[in-house]
Amino acid sequence: MLTHAVDSYLALRRAAGFALRSQGTLLRGFAAFSACRNESHMRTALAIEWAGSAHSDFQRARRLGTVIRFARYLHAEDHSHEIPPQVFGCETPPRPTPYILSPEQIANLVRASSQSGYRTLRRATYSTLFALLACTGLRVSEAIRLRFEDIVADGLLICCSKFRKSRIVPLHPTAREGLERYLAQRRAYAPADDHLFISLRRKPLLSTDVDTAFRTAARVVGLPVSPRHPRATPHSLRHTFAVRALQSCPDGRDAITKHMLALSTYLGHAKVSDTYWYLEAVPELLQDISERCERFVMGGQR
**139 among known catalytic residues:** yes
**55 among known catalytic residues:** no
User: With bands split at pLDDT 50, 70 and 90, how would you rate the model's confidence at 194?
Assistant: very high
The burial class, CB within 10 Å (0-12 / 13-18 / 19+), for 123 is middle
Choice among 162, 165, 258, 292 that is catalytic = 162
pTM confidence score: 0.73
The per-residue pLDDT for 302 is 40
Choice among 9, 99, 126, 278 that is catalytic = 278
Choice among 60, 139, 145, 239 that is catalytic = 139
**118 among known catalytic residues:** no
The H-assigned helical ranges of 39-120 are 44-52, 57-77, 103-113
The per-residue pLDDT for 196 is 94
Strands 151-152 and 167-169 come out as unpaired
The per-residue pLDDT for 283 is 66
**258 among known catalytic residues:** no
**122 among known catalytic residues:** no
Residues in CB range of 139: below 8 A, 6 or more apart: 161, 162, 235, 238, 268
Cα–Cα–Cα angle for 97, 100, 103, nearest 5°? 175
Query: Which amino acid makes up residue 224?
Result: P
**238 among known catalytic residues:** yes
Are 74 and 42 contacting, i.e. CB atoms less than 8 angstroms apart? yes
Choice among 75, 111, 215, 235 that is catalytic = 235
When pLDDT is averaged across residues 248-268 and rounded to a whole number, the result is 76
Residue 157: phi and psi, rounded to 5, are -95, 115
The per-residue pLDDT for 163 is 58
For the stretch 25-77, pLDDT in tens is: 999 999 999 999 999 999 999 999 999 999 999 999 999 999 999 999 999 99
Q: Is the pLDDT of residue 300 over 60?
A: no
Choice among 145, 238, 239, 266 that is catalytic = 238
